[in-house]
Amino acid sequence: MSAGPDALLPAEMALAAEEVGVKKAALPALSLVLLGVLAGAFIGLGALFGTVAGTDPAGLLPWGLGRVLTGFAFATGLVLVIVGGAELFTGNALLAMAWASGRVSTRAVVRNWVLVFLANALGAVATAFLVFAARSWTLADGAVGRSLLDSARTKCALEPLQAIAAGILANALVCLAVWLTFSARSTVDRVIAVILPVAAFVASGFEHSIANLFTVPLALLVKASGSLPIDVVRYEGLTVQAFLLNNLLPVTLGNLIGGTVLVGSVYWLVYLRIRPPATGA
């Protein structure tokens, strides 16, 4: 790898991604769980920030601009993960690069994914409970809560193929954001690299499993509280069962496909499949 101040080139980024994957696969279980809980909380806070930024009860923002603002605010979550050093299931799909090179075992990759996903879920859901207790959803006379309810209702009504496709596209962009950070030489580089791909996936309505583990549980809590006057029939499809079957399971599958196949595998095939000959005496 080059030692200068310039950003790394893609071939060097691939080597960096592989090394990071090796280190992540070797982390002790306790470290994975603690860092995974943090990542779930960070993504949840980013999702809340995005919801607040995109809520426009007066109808003053053009629809597209509101979506972009939501995406830019949501990117805070991945910035915290990348700069703070937490472990995020969707970004860890790039462990597939180290696996394809034979640097880590299948068992190590699956161990990482399972522990980190469960820890992310714990962090995201726990943050949803804290935000509910803080009553942030009552902001703007309850408009934030209604935005959460509408978003969660839409997520729980996805068709299977739609949910998988939206999950693939979301994590392709998330993993591209992570991939771009491997070129970075400074914290500012990392932050800038993350923002646009994440804003693009959010603005485009794609689906991120860990973010949904915050948004939908929080919406379910708001619905169950009865504190907001809502049309009961409108939100009757917003249930735990609908979330698990119509959203979380297919979206998680899509996230894995998007990260491992569309990003990790492609860059491995281009830059790591054929190794340069070893140099030295």
Whichever domain contains 161, its CATH number is 1.20.1080.10
CB 129, CB 221: distance < 8 Å: yes
CB 174, CB 208: distance < 8 Å: yes
Q: 154 in a domain, yes or no?
A: yes
Q: What is the 3-state secondary structure (H, E, C) of 172-220?
A: HHHHHHHHHHCCCCCHHHHHHHHHHHHHHHHHCCCCCHHHHHHHHHHHH
Q: 221 in a domain, yes or no?
A: yes
The C-alpha atoms of residue 75 and residue 211 are separated, in whole angstroms, by 11
pLDDT attached to residue 5: 62
pLDDT attached to residue 264: 96
Is residue 281's pLDDT more than 90?
no
The C-alpha atoms of residue 150 and residue 146 are separated, in whole angstroms, by 6
Q: 171 in a domain, yes or no?
A: yes
Q: 239 in a domain, yes or no?
A: yes
Is residue 148's pLDDT more than 90?
yes
pLDDT tens figures, 49-92: 999 999 999 888 898 999 999 999 999 999 999 999 999 999 99
Q: 185 in a domain, yes or no?
A: yes
Is residue 1's pLDDT more than 80?
no
Model's pTM, two decimal places? 0.93
Q: What's the total number of domains in the chain?
A: 1
**Domain enclosing residue 119, as ranges:** 10-271
Q: 5 in a domain, yes or no?
A: no
Q: 1 in a domain, yes or no?
A: no
Q: 281 in a domain, yes or no?
A: no
Kindly state the tokens that stand for 23: 């280190």
